[in-house]
Amino acid sequence: MLRNTRFLPSFTDDFFGKDFMADVFDSSVNKTIPEVNVIENAEAFKIEVAAPGLDKKDFKIDVNNNVLTISSEKEAKNVDEKEKFIRREFSYSSFQRSFSLPESVDQDKINAKHKDGILMVEIPKRDEAKEKPKREIKIS
Protein backbone atom coordinates (compact mmCIF):
# COMPACT_ATOMS: atom_id res chain seq x y z
CA MET A 1 0.00 0.00 0.00
CA LEU A 2 1.43 3.36 -0.99
CA ARG A 3 1.03 6.29 1.36
CA ASN A 4 0.55 9.87 0.41
CA THR A 5 3.07 11.47 2.77
CA ARG A 6 1.46 14.90 2.44
CA PHE A 7 -1.73 13.65 4.09
CA LEU A 8 -0.64 10.56 6.05
CA PRO A 9 3.04 10.67 7.02
CA SER A 10 4.81 7.46 7.88
CA PHE A 11 4.60 6.69 11.57
CA THR A 12 8.30 5.85 11.70
CA ASP A 13 9.17 9.32 10.37
CA ASP A 14 7.32 10.95 13.27
CA PHE A 15 8.05 8.26 15.80
CA PHE A 16 11.84 8.11 15.74
CA GLY A 17 12.42 11.85 15.52
CA LYS A 18 15.61 13.66 14.60
CA ASP A 19 17.69 12.37 17.54
CA PHE A 20 17.27 8.69 16.68
CA MET A 21 20.76 8.27 15.22
CA ALA A 22 22.29 10.10 18.19
CA ASP A 23 20.76 7.44 20.47
CA VAL A 24 22.15 4.65 18.31
CA PHE A 25 25.70 6.00 18.35
CA ASP A 26 25.79 7.22 21.96
CA SER A 27 29.29 6.48 23.24
CA SER A 28 28.68 6.68 26.99
CA VAL A 29 30.69 3.97 28.69
CA ASN A 30 28.03 2.73 31.10
CA LYS A 31 25.08 3.07 28.78
CA THR A 32 23.58 0.18 26.90
CA ILE A 33 20.82 0.74 24.41
CA PRO A 34 18.38 -2.15 24.08
CA GLU A 35 16.98 -3.16 20.73
CA VAL A 36 13.39 -2.14 19.98
CA ASN A 37 10.66 -3.21 17.58
CA VAL A 38 8.08 -0.63 16.53
CA ILE A 39 4.85 -2.13 15.20
CA GLU A 40 1.79 -0.43 13.75
CA ASN A 41 -1.64 -1.96 13.26
CA ALA A 42 -5.08 -0.48 12.68
CA GLU A 43 -5.72 0.12 16.40
CA ALA A 44 -2.37 1.08 17.91
CA PHE A 45 1.39 1.40 17.76
CA LYS A 46 3.46 -0.98 19.85
CA ILE A 47 7.02 -0.73 21.08
CA GLU A 48 8.80 -3.87 22.22
CA VAL A 49 12.01 -3.30 24.18
CA ALA A 50 14.39 -6.26 24.60
CA ALA A 51 15.80 -5.85 28.11
CA PRO A 52 16.78 -9.21 29.59
CA GLY A 53 17.81 -9.10 33.22
CA LEU A 54 15.61 -6.10 34.01
CA ASP A 55 12.39 -6.27 36.05
CA LYS A 56 9.37 -4.03 35.58
CA LYS A 57 10.44 -2.02 38.65
CA ASP A 58 13.65 -1.08 36.81
CA PHE A 59 11.80 0.87 34.08
CA LYS A 60 10.41 4.39 33.98
CA ILE A 61 8.09 5.55 31.18
CA ASP A 62 7.14 9.22 30.73
CA VAL A 63 5.22 11.26 28.18
CA ASN A 64 6.02 14.95 27.91
CA ASN A 65 5.28 17.30 24.99
CA ASN A 66 4.46 14.42 22.59
CA VAL A 67 7.69 12.58 23.45
CA LEU A 68 7.56 9.11 25.00
CA THR A 69 10.69 8.31 27.01
CA ILE A 70 11.57 4.84 28.23
CA SER A 71 14.47 4.69 30.67
CA SER A 72 16.06 2.34 33.15
CA GLU A 73 18.70 2.55 35.85
CA LYS A 74 19.93 -0.50 37.68
CA GLU A 75 22.68 -0.96 40.22
CA ALA A 76 23.82 -4.50 40.95
CA LYS A 77 25.97 -5.34 43.95
CA ASN A 78 27.84 -8.64 44.02
CA VAL A 79 29.58 -9.75 47.18
CA ASP A 80 31.91 -12.75 47.20
CA GLU A 81 33.11 -13.91 50.62
CA LYS A 82 35.94 -16.48 50.79
CA GLU A 83 38.38 -17.15 53.66
CA LYS A 84 38.11 -13.77 55.40
CA PHE A 85 38.37 -11.95 52.10
CA ILE A 86 35.52 -9.77 50.88
CA ARG A 87 35.41 -8.65 47.28
CA ARG A 88 32.76 -6.22 46.06
CA GLU A 89 31.91 -5.47 42.50
CA PHE A 90 29.56 -2.64 41.68
CA SER A 91 27.78 -2.59 38.39
CA TYR A 92 25.63 0.26 37.16
CA SER A 93 23.75 0.29 33.89
CA SER A 94 21.29 2.71 32.39
CA PHE A 95 19.61 3.60 29.13
CA GLN A 96 17.11 6.06 27.77
CA ARG A 97 15.16 5.91 24.51
CA SER A 98 12.87 8.72 23.37
CA PHE A 99 10.22 8.55 20.66
CA SER A 100 8.29 11.45 19.11
CA LEU A 101 4.60 10.60 19.15
CA PRO A 102 2.34 11.58 16.27
CA GLU A 103 -0.79 13.60 16.97
CA SER A 104 -2.92 10.57 16.05
CA VAL A 105 -2.27 8.73 19.34
CA ASP A 106 -4.32 8.82 22.53
CA GLN A 107 -1.64 9.59 25.13
CA ASP A 108 -4.04 9.05 28.05
CA LYS A 109 -4.50 5.38 27.15
CA ILE A 110 -0.84 4.33 26.80
CA ASN A 111 -0.11 1.17 28.79
CA ALA A 112 2.86 -1.11 29.36
CA LYS A 113 3.52 -4.75 30.30
CA HIS A 114 6.70 -6.64 31.13
CA LYS A 115 7.10 -10.35 30.45
CA ASP A 116 10.10 -12.63 29.85
CA GLY A 117 12.64 -9.80 29.46
CA ILE A 118 10.47 -7.83 27.01
CA LEU A 119 8.85 -4.49 27.87
CA MET A 120 5.77 -3.96 25.69
CA VAL A 121 4.32 -0.45 25.40
CA GLU A 122 0.99 -0.08 23.61
CA ILE A 123 0.10 3.36 22.24
CA PRO A 124 -3.55 3.38 21.08
CA LYS A 125 -4.64 5.52 18.17
CA ARG A 126 -7.44 8.05 18.57
CA ASP A 127 -10.73 6.86 17.10
CA GLU A 128 -10.57 9.38 14.27
CA ALA A 129 -7.08 8.14 13.29
CA LYS A 130 -7.97 4.44 13.13
CA GLU A 131 -8.25 2.90 9.71
CA LYS A 132 -11.82 2.58 8.57
CA PRO A 133 -12.95 -0.50 6.66
CA LYS A 134 -13.30 -0.07 2.94
CA ARG A 135 -16.86 0.59 1.83
CA GLU A 136 -18.41 1.15 -1.53
CA ILE A 137 -20.29 4.35 -2.19
CA LYS A 138 -23.44 3.84 -4.23
CA ILE A 139 -24.12 6.34 -6.94
CA SER A 140 -27.68 7.64 -7.07
Q: What is the DSSP string of 23-61?
A: HHT---TTB----EEEEE-SSEEEEEEE-TT--GGGEEE
Statement: 11-127 belongs to CATH 2.60.40.790: yes
Evaluate the CA torsion angle 26, 27, 29, 33 in order and state its sign.
positive
Total-model pTM? 0.65
- 112 confidence band (pLDDT: 50, 70, 90): very high
Residue 76 has pLDDT above 70, yes or no: no
Residue 11's alpha-carbon distances to 4, 31, 44, 129, in angstroms, are 12, 27, 11, 12
pLDDT of residue 15: 54
Residue 3 has pLDDT above 80, yes or no: no
Q: How confident is the model over 78-103, as pLDDT tens digits? A: 666 656 556 666 667 788 999 999 99
In this prediction, residues 22-26 reach a mean pLDDT of: 46
Distance, in Å, from the CA atom of 113 to the CA atom of 118, rounded to the nearest integer, reads: 8
- Of residues 137 and 109, the one with the higher pLDDT is 109
Q: Which of 57, 62, 85, 87 is nearest to 73 (CA)?
A: 57
Distance, in Å, from the CA atom of 40 to the CA atom of 123, rounded to the nearest integer, reads: 9
What residues does each domain of the chain span?
11-127
Compute CA 68 distance to the chain's CA centroid, rounded to the nearest angstrom: 7
